[in-house]
Structure 1
Amino acid sequence: MAEAPAAPAAPILSLDGVQTHIGPYHILHGVSFAVPRGGVTMLLGRNGAGKTTTLRTIMNLWQASEGRIVFDGADITRRGTPAIAQAGIAYVPENMSVFSELTVAENMRLAARSGAIDGQRLDWVFRMFPALKIFWHQRAGVLSGGQKQMLSVARAIIEPRKLLIVDEPTKGLAPAIIQNMITVFRELKQTDVSILLVEQNFHMAKSVGDAVAVMDDGRVVHTGTMAALAGDESLQQRLLGLSLAAHQ
């Protein structure tokens, strides 16, 4: 008798009916989607669709007014932000969260939970971001925009994490730096970390994305594979108002 197929693994993160109000404004209107374990899940949508609010709500920087957020089997909807980070989620906001007056080395040590950086892991980070080794003893404020973004991502991965949440890592970056980011995220996909990535550069989205959720007006209006979305120009036009082919 043939064995029954194994049940699919539970998602690393799921949102169910999440609503968020910011002051008098109702921003998220029942957001529901799941982030599978492993690989990269893209969260796409037009400007103002609610993507950043969704990420900030996951981290409880803005509290959900309704709904449920489950991470690695545990309800984190009402947990404080430090406890969520301690559970294994690293968050990289779009504003390049680095301490400009501190050196690159000091920025990295602050991101390490014990203050001490594992040498092997640091070598791995340097291999992905060689500029950080060059500027190791320089103040982070002297770095270019692309180098600051590299430092932001490096800070998030200097410790092993279960989930990496990144908001627009290529925003404002030169094409060569974007290509470097694509290489980095492809390498990160080979590790144990799952990734939730908001990105406006559709070449980046197509290059690294596995699953996708598309938002519009504070709601998730489409979920599926990134490959299927990348191969359907009419769906891209309907959901995003543009064609990925124009962003190669």
Structure 2
Amino acid sequence: MLSLRGVHTHIGAYHILHGVDMEVPAGQLTMLLGRNGAGKTTTLRTIMGLWQASRGQVLLDGRQIAGPGCAALSTPEIAQQEVAYVPESMGIFSELSVAENLLLAARRARSLKELDTPRLEWLFGLFPALKKFWLYPAGKLSGGQKQMLAIARAMLEPRRLLLIDEPSKGLAPAMVRNLVAALQELKSTQTTILLVEQNFAVAKALGDRVAVMDDGRVVHAGAMAELVADERLQQRLLGLNLDSAVDRSL
């Protein structure tokens, strides 16, 4: 569904991505791993059009959406292609209620009464706290609840591609388990997901495919199961033993 071919991204004077090549197969969850500063967030933001690729191509369903030599799509235009992005910062509107935050993501609804009720009930099943705090200001939610709201907002309408940046960061183990269960449920709907994650228990539990970044490049790509099974590869690429890092409760 998504292809990056030789993508370079500059932010001001800084050259962040140095020729990223990556494939994200349709209907699968691809993990994007790597040490801090490897370029993972920049990759997501470049895909979403928030930062412009200075060289290379970003293709969605074979159509070039970013890169020199094409009519690059703006971020709203990319979103209209049924692509959603959940940033690490979550982007929650603190003064608005949970309900109002969700309504902002509904392209087909102008009021709460017009929201897709079956879809909303499905989300409540995944994230019960959203129903409980429906009319509460989102700023008063816990960190984990805000993360659930950010993901639910991206899922409010069916999406073909979901980009998620470090959803488990800072969450308590119980919230991480809830998050993994929700993403597993989302995977069952054949939604294509590209997920940046530092929690390797989450990566092991969810990933179908994996791409590992280092210094602005993809240095390894393949099946997640192959990385999990190869301790030497884990040490070389990530500096740790993936199996020893997992949370047994997941």
Task: Name the SS for the 2:233 alignment partner.
Answer: helix
- Within 2, Cα distance between the matches of 1:117 and 1:39? 28
Who is 1:189 aligned against? 187
Of 23, 29, 48, which aligns to 2:37? Answer: 48
1:96 aligns with 2:78: no
1:75 aligns with 2:64: yes
- Within 2, Cα distance between the matches of 1:28 and 1:135? 40
Task: Name the SS for the 1:91 alignment partner.
Answer: strand
- Within 1, Cα distance between the matches of 2:7 and 2:245? 31
Task: Name the SS for the 1:68 alignment partner.
Answer: strand
Of 88, 102, 106, which aligns to 1:108? Answer: 102
Task: Could you list the structure 1 runs, at least 4 aligned residues long, displaced by more than 4 angstroms after superposition.
Answer: none
Task: Name the SS for the 2:190 alignment partner.
Answer: coil
Who is 2:69 aligned against? none
**Cα shift readout 1:170-196 (whole Å, capped 9, x = no counterpart):** 000000000111101111111031000
- Within 2, Cα distance between the matches of 1:33 and 1:94? 21
- Within 2, Cα distance between the matches of 1:96 and 1:81? 17
Structure 1 residue 73 displacement after superposition: 2.4
Structure 2: gaps of 5 or more residues = 67-71
Of 228, 231, 234, which aligns to 1:230? Answer: 228
Task: Name the SS for the 1:95 alignment partner.
Answer: coil
Structure 1 residue 109 displacement after superposition: 0.5
Q: How many percent identity over aligned positions?
A: 65
Who is 1:16 aligned against? 5
Structure 1: gaps of 5 or more residues = 1-11
- Within 2, Cα distance between the matches of 1:230 and 1:169? 21
Structure 1 residue 137 displacement after superposition: 0.6
- How many residues get paired? 237
Instruction: State the superposition RMSD in angstroms.
Output: 0.7
Normalising by structure 2, what TM-score? 0.94
**Cα shift readout 1:59-90 (whole Å, capped 9, x = no counterpart):** 11110000000112221101100000001110
Who is 1:3 aligned against? none
| AA in 1 matched with 2:54 | S
- Residues 51-200 of structure 1 mapped to structure 2, 5 A cutoff: 51-77=40-66, 78-115=72-109, 116-200=114-198
Normalising by structure 1, what TM-score? 0.94
